[in-house]
Amino acid sequence: MKRVKVWDPAVRLSHLAMGVLVLAAFLTSEEDDTLPLHMRLGLGLLGVVLFRVVWGFVGSTHARFSDFVKGPKAVLTAVRSMVRGKPEHTLGHNPVGALMVVTLLVLLAFVTMTGIVMGLGPDWSGPLALSKSTLHLVKEVHEGAAEALPVLIVLHVLGVILSSVLEKQNLIGGMVTGFKRADDAHVEPGAPSALRLTAGFLMAVVLAAAVVLGLWRVLPSGVADAAPALLSTYEQQARAESPSFERFDVARGKALYFTEHPTKNGATSCATCHSPDARQEGRSPVGKRIDPLAPSANPDRFTDAAKAMKWFDRNCTQVLGRPCTAVERGDFLTYLSSL
């Protein structure tokens, strides 16, 4: 038996990065306030996957898909020999492992790409401007595909452990050190020249980095990006409404929020129900809890233009005795966004 260098540093590092990024993306996927980070982790993951795919064509001997991707016949033969407890010795990925490698890469690419479509598409706030129903569909597909990941990863790890036992060598350690054992008679095929490897490596890095950096700049930086988008709609309406309109104003919005008006329930302002601090929960006259109105405290606020409009109409009419103008709606939202 002799030790042979099988996995180059690019294979090992990209493998490690994928594991870490998948875990981090899972941990940040549930809470609204970690979603911006989640999107960036996902984008980084897509970059690593892209790099690995390109490296699969231009990388070192055992990094290449042509080295390990085999047809169904070879996969069946390998499964049969594993079942018999006498696995054929493959220095790179064996045909069954290779199937898993390709499946995982395809799934990771799919999950990250649907995630990016979601990030770019929320109604009038993202550059893709998807409709609510399309966005919902993409979300379902993204989450469903992401849930398949842990299942496949567990199978992958179990497969590696099983192969380690059958082949009597530590394959996990091999992915860390890069070395595996081979028969003395084993002859390594000729490796690509250092020049070709360097050129291939640079190409893979540049391609992956270009995609990541390009998308990084257009991905929204936070879920609360909805308010600015709605504000620009109100701004257009305000210009159409009054030619003298210049800009929305925090102080005017604040005055609208706190000024009391006589109503059938006595003197009432927006603060009566929405609480004097709009970052806090409010309470309706019948004691029903109202979620905070300020987008900084409640990212769901002002993400739905029709819903916002419905409540502006209803609540302004109740407090002021008339619907709010576009200038008032813009001032109000500008004040809330300043909190």
Q: How many C-beta atoms lie closer than 10 Å to residue 186's C-beta?
A: 12
Decide if residue 227 touches ligand HEC (CB under 6 A). Answer: no
Residue 156 to residue 44: CA distance in whole angstroms: 22
Decide if residue 308 touches ligand HEC (CB under 6 A). Answer: yes
Contact 107, 148 (CB under 8 A): yes
- Number of residues this chain uses to bind ligand HEC (CB under 6 A): 21
Residue 221 to residue 212: CA distance in whole angstroms: 15
Q: How far is CA 233 from CA 68, 257, 296, 327, 331, in A?
A: 54, 21, 20, 11, 13
Residue 310 to residue 230: CA distance in whole angstroms: 14
CB of 251 to ligand HEC, least distance (A): 15
Instruction: Pick the piece of the chain touching ligand HEC (CB under 6 A) from 50-58, 160-168, 195-203, 302-310.
Output: 302-310
- In order, the DSSP letters of 53-106 are HHHHHHS-GGGSHHHH---HHHHHHHHHHHHTT-PPP-SS--HHHHHHHHHHHH
Instruction: Pick the piece of the chain touching ligand HEC (CB under 6 A) from 50-58, 105-113, 157-165, 316-324.
Output: 316-324
Which position among 53, 302, 326, 334 is part of the footprint of ligand HEC (CB under 6 A)?
A: 302
Decide if residue 28 touches ligand HEC (CB under 6 A). Answer: no
Length of the chain: 339
Which position among 35, 108, 135, 319 is part of the footprint of ligand HEC (CB under 6 A)?
A: 319
Window 245-284: contact mask with ligand HEC (x via CB under 6 A): -----------------------x-x-xxx---------x
CB of 197 to ligand HEC, least distance (A): 55
Spell out the residues 6+ positions from residue 302 whose beta carbon is closer than 8 angstroms to its own: 226, 227, 230, 295, 308, 333, 336
Decide if residue 316 touches ligand HEC (CB under 6 A). Answer: yes
CB of 219 to ligand HEC, least distance (A): 23
Binding residues for ligand HEC, rule: CB under 6 A, are 268, 270, 272-274, 284-285, 290-291, 301-302, 307-308, 311-312, 315-316, 318-320, 332
